[in-house]
Amino acid sequence: MEAITSVVTASLVGFFARLYMLRTDYRQYPSYPQGYVIHLSLGLIASFLGAVAVPALLVKDYAAATFLALAATQFREVRKTERETLSNLEPMELIPRGNGYIEGIARVFEARNYLAGGTALFTSIVVLILSQYWSLPIAIFGGVVGGAILVWLLDGMMIGPKVGDLANVRGAEIRFTGPLLMVEDIVIMNVGLETARQRLLKEGIGVLIEPRDPNSKATLANLGQRQAILHDATSLLGVEMDVGEPEYIPLLRRHPVTGALAMAIIPGEKNTVALLEAVRRTPILEASVRKPLASQAGRLADRHRE
């Protein structure tokens, strides 16, 4: 009886953990409602696998416990599916997410299934232990509370740094030197058409992202990270352009010495404060993180420049 109670409670807690982590945010993914069904079903399977592991061990059914290993293969598949879906949609995006962002999103989806499974495992252990000393309802209550706390802690730990944590983001002046579009002293691109130049000067906003230390400088140099910033900024504020107007595609270009990134953009809503906030809140992609200062060579290079 304890075993069944523990499996059911743990599966449900794991399922609700997955539901809690499944928030539709500005990335508009997973899309409601088909995406929800897919991920909740997988979350339920993950939770069930986590929930049966300990009860199976207790009745010495080692074969059943090894199914947990099988789950890992299943969820690697999730990452692959997410990556393929997003990559297939990529050519249809006005401002693409970029491979770095797609990989990051795919990883999050895989990881969340493990979190759901882990929560279920933890809950089942709590329920089984408590049921040794107290009545079943108390054990269930303890398991639910324990699982909820674990999800809350794990989910909090999964939130990574944002661009605003690594860099100082501020508005900057847009100007032209001949045909060259510049944001302060960083060249963005060569704009040939006079009409496009006038429009960029009139309606464009310049943004400068200045990294705080050598670690941030190396991280922000990553092309995937830059594309992620552009995608987030344009998906939040819109962009005044259409297919076949390459003059107005926002680009992030890097200052070769300082590593500062500059962007000139004609947002759908002209609001500098909102644009800067959108840039600051762009997540730092796991795959773009570099830490040269963690090495001896990096620290030496930081101390002295010939």
Partner 1 sequence: MRENSAEGVIAMITEDRNLVGGGAPIFYVSSLAEKERVAQYLSRITRGMVHDLGNGVYIIVRH
Q: Which residues bind partner 1 (CB under 8 A)?
A: 91-94, 96, 178-179, 189-196, 243-247
State in angstroms the smallest separation of the CB of 126 from partner 1.
51
Q: Which of 252, 268, 254, 172 is nearest to 218 (CA)?
A: 254
If the CB atoms of residues 71 and 241 are measured against partner 1, the closer one turns out to be 241
State in angstroms the smallest separation of the CB of 279 from partner 1.
23
State in angstroms the smallest separation of the CB of 34 from partner 1.
24
If the CB atoms of residues 94 and 158 are measured against partner 1, the closer one turns out to be 94
Report angle CA 117, 21, 83 to the nearest 5 degrees.
85
State in angstroms the smallest separation of the CB of 181 from partner 1.
11
Distance CA 266, CA 238 (A): 9
- Report DSSP letters for 139-174, one per residue: HHHHHHHHHHHHHHHHHHHT---BHHHHEEEEEE-E
State in angstroms the smallest separation of the CB of 33 from partner 1.
27
If the CB atoms of residues 37 and 94 are measured against partner 1, the closer one turns out to be 94
Distance CA 256, CA 239 (A): 27
Q: Which positions ≥6 away from 297 have C-beta within 8 Å? A: none
Distance CA 114, CA 133 (A): 30
Residue 25: what are its φ and ψ, rounded to 5°? -115, -165
Asked, as a colleague might, if the bond just before 214 is cis with ω within 30 of 0, I would say: no
The alpha carbons of the chain give a radius of gyration, in whole angstroms, of 24
If the CB atoms of residues 94 and 223 are measured against partner 1, the closer one turns out to be 94
If the CB atoms of residues 33 and 91 are measured against partner 1, the closer one turns out to be 91
Which secondary structure element, helix H or strand E, spans residue 211, and what is its range? Answer: strand 205-211
Both tokens of 238, joined, read 């819109």
State in angstroms the smallest separation of the CB of 235 from partner 1.
15
If the CB atoms of residues 122 and 248 are measured against partner 1, the closer one turns out to be 248
Strand partners, 262: 208, 253
State in angstroms the smallest separation of the CB of 238 from partner 1.
16
If the CB atoms of residues 156 and 192 are measured against partner 1, the closer one turns out to be 192
